[in-house]
Structure 1
Amino acid sequence: MALRVTQTMMSSQMLSNINYNMNNMSKLQDQISTGKVINKPSDDPVGITFALRYRGEISSNDQYTDNADAALSSLDYMDTTIGQATDIVQRFRELIIKGANGTLEETSRTAIQTEVSQLYNQMVEIGNSQFNGKQMFNGEQTGAKPYSTIGLDQAVDPTAIPPQTKAFNNQTDTGNIKYELSPGMTMEVNITGNEVFGEPVTDAADETSDNLFQLMHRAYDMLGSGDQAGLSNLLGQIDTRMNTMLTARAQIGARVNRVEIVQSRLSDVDTNLQKMQRNVEDVDMAEAITNMTTLENVYQASLSAGAKIIQPSLVDFLR
Structure 2
Amino acid sequence: MINRVTHQTVQRSTLANLQLNLDRMSGLQGSLSSGKLITKPSDDPSGTAKAMQFRAEQRAAEQAARNAADGSSWLTTADTALQTSLAGLRRARDLTVQGASTGVLNATAREALALEIEGLRDALLSQANTSYIGRSVFAGTSDADTAFTGPTGTPPYTWTGTAGATVERRLAPDTTVRVDVDGRAAFGEGDDSVFAVLDRIATDLRAGADVNPRLNEIDTRMTAMLGEIAGVGSRQNQVLSAQDRIEKTLVDLKGSIAAVEDIDLAATLVDLQAQEVSYQAALGAASRVLQPSLLDFLR
Matches of residues 98-137 of structure 1 in structure 2 within 5 Å?
A: 98-103=98-103, 104-137=105-138
Q: How far apart are the structure 2 equivalents of 1:15 and 1:56?
A: 45
Is contact 1:146-1:170 (8 Å) kept? yes
Q: How far apart are the structure 2 equivalents of 1:312 and 1:25?
A: 28
Instruction: Give the corresponding residue for 1:172.
Output: 161
Instruction: Give the corresponding residue for 1:153.
Output: none
Instruction: Give the corresponding residue for 2:52.
Output: 52
Q: How far apart are the structure 2 equivalents of 1:170 and 1:55?
A: 44
Q: TM-score, normalised by structure 1?
A: 0.89
Is contact 2:169-2:176 (8 Å) kept? yes
Matches of residues 1-319 of structure 1 in structure 2 within 5 Å?
A: 1-103=1-103, 104-150=105-151, 156=152, 164-167=154-157, 169-174=158-163, 175-201=165-191, 209=192, 211-228=193-210, 231-314=211-294
Q: How far apart are the structure 2 equivalents of 1:143 and 1:303?
A: 79
Q: TM-score, normalised by structure 2?
A: 0.94
Gap regions ≥5 residues in structure 2: none
Q: How far apart are the structure 2 equivalents of 1:106 and 1:314?
A: 129
- Report the CA distance between 1:142 and its aligned residue: 4.0
- Report the CA distance between 1:166 and its aligned residue: 2.2
Deviations, residues 208-248 of structure 1 (Å, cap 9, x unaligned): x4x211111211211121111xx111111211110110011
Is contact 1:197-1:212 (8 Å) kept? yes
Identity %: 32
Most deviating of 171-180 and 84-93? 171-180
Q: How far apart are the structure 1 equivalents of 2:86 and 2:162?
A: 22
**3-state DSSP of counterpart to 1:181:** strand
**3-state DSSP of counterpart to 1:186:** strand
Is contact 1:136-1:142 (8 Å) kept? no
**3-state DSSP of counterpart to 1:232:** coil
| RMSD value, Cα | 1.7
Gap regions ≥5 residues in structure 1: 151-155, 157-162, 202-208
Deviations, residues 151-179 of structure 1 (Å, cap 9, x unaligned): xxxxx5xxxxxx74422x44533321100
